[in-house]
Amino acid sequence: MITVTGTAQHEAWQQKSMPDVEEVRPGVWSIPVLFPRNPLRYTLSYLLLGTAGAVLVDPGWDSDEGWQKLLAGLEHVGFPVEDLTGIVVSHFHPDNLGMAARLKAASGAWIGLGSKEGIQRGNVDRPEDFAAADLAKFARWGVPEPKLAEVTFSAAAWAATSASHEPDLRFDDGDYLPLDGTRIQVLFTPGHAPGHICLWDEKNRCF
């Protein structure tokens, strides 16, 4: 049976406010990151603490506002960004991996991605074409023209992923994160993206 670990995130979403930094399980911290000029408002990064270092999951959309929010979240936890050892990206979308390159530059951490997730090189070499195709796709799905800009990413946003489009590590289904003092397993969960991954924390029994 799956049990919800808390209600704070749900309540904040309903109130259209930013949730607080929260320790959802021992050594597992939820850090909200601003998603500027988007109706989602924010995404959630997760800091996984080990005995020697930590891994951050999905650092979020690349923006100066989001970067400051992420740094503030790490400061709240009491974990210096330069001590980060790894960055896990659940899938290759800008609102998940956008700040991975910036975070790697600040910490020297590795970047890891599921082995089945493709690298969308079109956004690196031809971001205008990639953005146009994305826009056309949502138009075919019936999104009204005035709303298209709210649900699609610009060419600049797709191009911004280029700095982190080659991961340092690739994870297979059943692999464990290289984080001392933890047993956190990679699980393939295709759907939202073909190579999407989730993580199972065996010690905390947290998904």
* 66-76 tens-digit pLDDT: 999 999 999 99
Domain residue extents for the chain: 8-119+166-201, 120-162
Residue 94 above 60 pLDDT?
Answer: yes
Cα dihedral 164, 79, 63, 207 sign: positive
Residue 162 above 70 pLDDT?
Answer: no
Classified by CATH at the fold level, domain 8-119+166-201 comes out as: Metallo-beta-lactamase; Chain A (3.60.15)
Choose between 47 and 42: higher pLDDT.
Answer: 47
Q: What is the mean pLDDT of residues 92-101?
A: 84
* End-to-end CA separation in angstroms for the chain: 12
Q: How confident is the model at residue 172, as a pLDDT?
A: 95
* 6-29 tens-digit pLDDT: 778 888 888 888 899 999 999 999
Lowest mean pLDDT among 36-45, 118-127, 175-184: 118-127
Q: What is the spatial distance between Cα 189 and Cα 176, in angstroms, rounded to a whole number? A: 15
Comparing C-alpha atoms, which of 18, 17, 6, 15 is closest to residue 45? 18
Residue that is written with structure tokens 């939202």 in the block: 192
Q: How confident is the model at residue 49, as a pLDDT?
A: 98
Q: What is the mean pLDDT of residues 99-112?
A: 94
CA distances, 33 to each of 50, 130, 159, 188 (Å): 22, 25, 20, 24
Choose between 124 and 48: higher pLDDT.
Answer: 48
What's this model's pTM, rounded to 2 decimal places? 0.85
pLDDT class of 147 with cuts at 50, 70, 90: confident
Residue 114 above 60 pLDDT?
Answer: yes
Contact 60, 184 (CB under 8 A): no
Residue 59 above 70 pLDDT?
Answer: yes
Residue 164 above 60 pLDDT?
Answer: no
3-state secondary structure of 110: strand
CA distances, 120 to each of 114, 126, 171, 193, 207 (Å): 14, 10, 18, 11, 27
Comparing C-alpha atoms, which of 114, 133, 111 is closest to residue 193? 114
